[in-house]
Structure 1
Amino acid sequence: MAHLPTDVRAALRFFAFYLGNGTLDLELLDGIDYRARLLESGSDLEMVFAIFTNVLEVDDQGQTVNDGDAQYRAAQWIRRRCDPDYQVEPPFEPWETELHGP
Structure 2
Amino acid sequence: MGHLSVDVRASFRLFAFYLANGTIDVDLLDGFDYQSTVFHSGSSLEQVFAIYGNVLQVDESGMVLNEGDAQYRVAQWIRACCDPSYQVEPPFEAWEMELHL
TM range, normalised to the smaller chain? over 0.9
Q: Which amino acid aligns with 1:84?
A: P
Equivalent in the alignment of 2:67: 67
SS in 1 for 2:25: coil
* Cα distance, 1:19 vs structure 2: 0.3
Q: Distance in 2 between matches of 1:39 and 1:71?
A: 17
* Cα distance, 1:16 vs structure 2: 0.3
Question: Which contiguous aligned blocks of 4+ residues in structure 1 show a shift greater than 4 angstroms?
Answer: none
* Cα distance, 1:41 vs structure 2: 1.3
- Listed one character per residue, the Cα deviations across residues 38-79 of structure 1 (whole Å, up to 9, x for unaligned) are 121111110000000000000001000001000000000000
Q: Distance in 2 between matches of 1:77 and 1:90?
A: 11
Equivalent in the alignment of 1:98: 98
SS in 2 for 1:7: helix
| Equivalences, count | 101
SS in 2 for 1:28: helix
Q: Distance in 1 between matches of 2:11 and 2:40?
A: 25
Equivalent in the alignment of 1:6: 6
Q: Distance in 2 between matches of 1:88 and 1:36?
A: 20
Equivalent in the alignment of 2:19: 19
Equivalent in the alignment of 2:33: 33
Structure 1, unpaired ranges of 5+:
none
* Cα distance, 1:33 vs structure 2: 1.2
Q: Distance in 2 between matches of 1:83 and 1:45?
A: 17
Q: Which amino acid aligns with 1:70?
A: A
Structure 2, unpaired ranges of 5+:
none
Give RMSD over aligned pairs: 0.7
Q: Distance in 2 between matches of 1:97 and 1:37?
A: 17
